[in-house]
Amino acid sequence: MMIKPFDDTYFMKKALQEAEAAFDKGEIPVGAVIVIEDRIIARCHNLTETLNDVTAHAEMQAITAAANFLGGKYLKKCTLYVTLEPCQMCAGALYWSQIGKIVYGARDEERGCINLNTKLHPKTKMIGGVLAEEASRLLKRFFVEKRNLN
Ligand SMILES: [Zn+2]
């Protein structure tokens, strides 16, 4: 039997590690990695508190880091793995990047791009639900702990 070492679950685990790093800093735990040809070229996590910047979502930083790595602004051959469904801002930035594929973990019914009908680039494929349980468990734990601190 052939086992593919680098599958969606493998890379989503890397994104989850980033989300955990955010958690440890007191940031809303969302992590992202960008992959090209089975190689991670960007790994980032939410830093909106640390940077005092509402645009410092994991995906926004990952887009910039991947473009810097590739030396070009388009990410057509790349896949983004992100632990939470992208918001409107990130979906908009991903539109401009023309990213090939988006794989997200947990759904964000309230602020995610799906329910808000944010357009992705016509060539971008998106799938969700990869390690969704793990991603949402971490988010829930964050908000429970935060509530208990206040
Ligand atoms: Zn976002």
pLDDT tens string 74-122: 999 999 999 999 999 999 999 999 999 999 999 999 999 999 999 999 9
CA distance 6 to 66: 19
Residue of higher predicted confidence among 138 and 150: 138
Residue in 18, 27, 59, 85 annotated catalytic: 59
Give strand pairing partners of 105.
none
Taking residues 15-44, report their average pLDDT. Answer: 98
Rounded to two decimals, the pTM is 0.95
Give pLDDT, residue 5.
Answer: 80
CA of 59 from ligand 1 middle (Å) equals 6
Neighbours of ion ligand 1 (CB under 5 A): 57, 87, 89-90
Q: Residue 134: which residues within 8 A CB-CB, separation 6 or more?
A: 16, 83, 105
Distance 2 CA to ligand 1 centre (A): 36
Closest CA to 56 of 79, 78, 87, 83: 87
Any catalytic annotation for residue 49?
Answer: no
